[in-house]
């Protein structure tokens, strides 16, 4: 099973809370814990803000979310194919008084597998992942585990049929 959401949003600051709320509502419906949802919301807000603030001129950006196997992968894509600026994750510390430059460090701190890419085909992509933690009796946990069990059953049946 895979759940996929794709949003095409205007490069406007008002789009950030809308995007965050759409994803949070979906994750809440699946039964993802509030702490996990908060980490995802924070990372998503920072990634969207980076696109809005640092990307070259463009009319919209894309947010793609894929959930499968207890993992949520999010990509925020600047659809402008031109050069962008400000996307770099260094090991240099950001001064506590700095007003800019902390977004990618925040994403890296609360999410897993932060990757930044820039290519002519897609533009600039901020990719990060987060392992989903479930509330007791969560619908998402049931849906994902049912899919795994069904897949294991089919694989087991194929092996048994091959042996016979």
**Which residue range is the domain that position 14 belongs to?**
3-163
The tokens describing 1, both together, are 């099973």
Pick 79 or 140 by higher pLDDT: 140
Q: Which residues contact 85 (CB under 8 A, 6 or more apart)?
A: 54, 56
Domain count along the chain: 1
Edge-to-edge strand ranges of the sheet holding 71-78? 3-10, 60-68, 71-78, 123-131, 112-119
Q: What is the CATH number of the domain that holds 124?
A: 3.30.565.10
Average pLDDT over every residue of 63-75: 95
DSSP 41-91: HHHHHHHHHHHHHHS-S-SEEEEEEEEETTEEEEEEEE---S---S----S
Share of the chain above pLDDT 90, in %: 52
Average pLDDT over every residue of 82-88: 47
pLDDT at 139: 93
Q: Which residues contact 25 (CB under 8 A, 6 or more apart)?
A: none
Confidence of residue 160 (pLDDT cuts 50, 70, 90): very low
The H or E element spanning position 154 is helix 139-163
Q: Indicate if the pLDDT at residue 8 is higher than 90.
A: yes
The tokens describing 159, both together, are 């092996």
Share of the chain above pLDDT 70, in %: 71
The tokens describing 67, both together, are 């959930």
pLDDT tens-place string over residues 99-129: 455 788 899 999 999 998 886 666 789 999 9
Give dist(CA 85, CA 35) in Å, integer. 32
Confidence of residue 164 (pLDDT cuts 50, 70, 90): very low
Closest CA to 77 of 112, 123, 44: 123
């Amino acid at each position: 099973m895979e759940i996929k959401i794709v949003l095409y949003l205007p490069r406007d600051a008002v789009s950030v809370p809308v995007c965050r709320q759409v994803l949070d509502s979906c994750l809440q419906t699946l039964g993802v814990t509030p702490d996990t949802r908060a980490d995802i919301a924070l990372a998503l807000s920072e990634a969207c803000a980076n696109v809005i603030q640092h990307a070259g001129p463009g009319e919209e950006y894309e947010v793609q979310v894929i959930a499968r196997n207890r993992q949520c992968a999010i990509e925020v894509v600047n659809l402008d194919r031109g050069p962008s600026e400000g996307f770099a994750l260094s090991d240099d510390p950001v001064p506590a008084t700095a007003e800019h430059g902390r977004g990618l460090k925040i994403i890296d701190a609360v999410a897993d597998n932060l990757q930044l890419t820039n290519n002519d085909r897609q533009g600039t992509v901020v990719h990060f992942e987060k392992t989903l933690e479930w509330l007791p009796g969560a619908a998402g946990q049931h849906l994902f585990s049912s899919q795994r069990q069904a897949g294991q059953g089919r694989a087991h049946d194929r092996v048994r049929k091959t042996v016979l």
